[in-house]
Amino acid sequence: MTSTGGGLATRILHRLFGVYGWLVFALCVLFALVAVTVVPGLERRRRAVALASRGTFVLSGIRPDINGLENLPDGHCVVVANHASYVDGVLLSGYLPARFSFVVKGEMRNIPIAHFLLRRGGSKFVERFVTAGSTRDARQIVKAARDGESLAFFPEGTFIKQPGVSRFRAGAFVAAIKGGMPIIPVAISGTRQMMPAGRLLPWPCPIRVDILAPIDPSDMAFDNHRALAETARQRILAVLGEPDLLAD
């Protein structure tokens, strides 16, 4: 009876946290929307969005454990991270330096509020399903890389409930090679437990972000984007503690 009562109490507390978390998120989104509307200058808008993103965690009582910030070079680079939850984008937006442009799936253009917030914050959109749009967007990403713009990708493209790391799409790695920028692998742990695919309410969980050592695409070992992508994927897997979904 005690065990059942304890389990029920835990579920109730989790649901209360989830409702509170959504309220905090809504307030932070409102702040970010006002900021990107009225604040001049892309860098200032990005800093405001980062503040709102961090506020989502701080006001919810979550203190992400961020490791390896010293591995981010002073110059421009391409960050690639595993993708496990909607929480991931908010997390990296809050804790990466404001100079990064996030590359997000083109379907976000169909969500007006999200599209406006992301666009005003400097994000770039990549169409995944329409060939003409995908080619156009890919060219714009490569141009941004050649112009020396720091980029952040979730190269799996989407996330699923099943733990593990899937195949990395080519875009981030082509951009890194074309732009001559290092790849920075980032391993995100805990967000799948906080809010996996299919769950509407977040649960309180510890979150850890490991920013790993740079990979130089000019190295002769990385003469093509596939080798570069697989090297980054394996480095993330080595610290993540989740299975390789391509192992079979």
CATH code for residues 63-240? 3.40.1130.10
pLDDT value at position 132?
53
CA dist 52 and 137 (Å) reads 28
* pLDDT above 70 for 134: no
How many other C-beta atoms are found inside a 10 Å radius of the C-beta of residue 232?
26
Helical H runs in 169-215?
Answer: 171-179, 191-194
CA dist 12 and 14 (Å) reads 5
Counted residue by residue, the chain has a size of 248
Q: What is the pTM of this model?
A: 0.90
* pLDDT above 70 for 205: yes
Listed by start position, the domains of the chain span: 63-240
Which single residue is written with the structure tokens 């993708």?
A: 83
Q: Are 92 and 79 in contact (CB under 8 A)?
A: yes
Give the three-state DSSP class for 107.
helix
* pLDDT above 90 for 144: no
Query: Which whole-number Å values give the CA distances from 13 to 25, 72, 211, in the listed order?
Result: 18, 38, 32
Express as a percent the part of the chain with pLDDT over 70.
Answer: 94
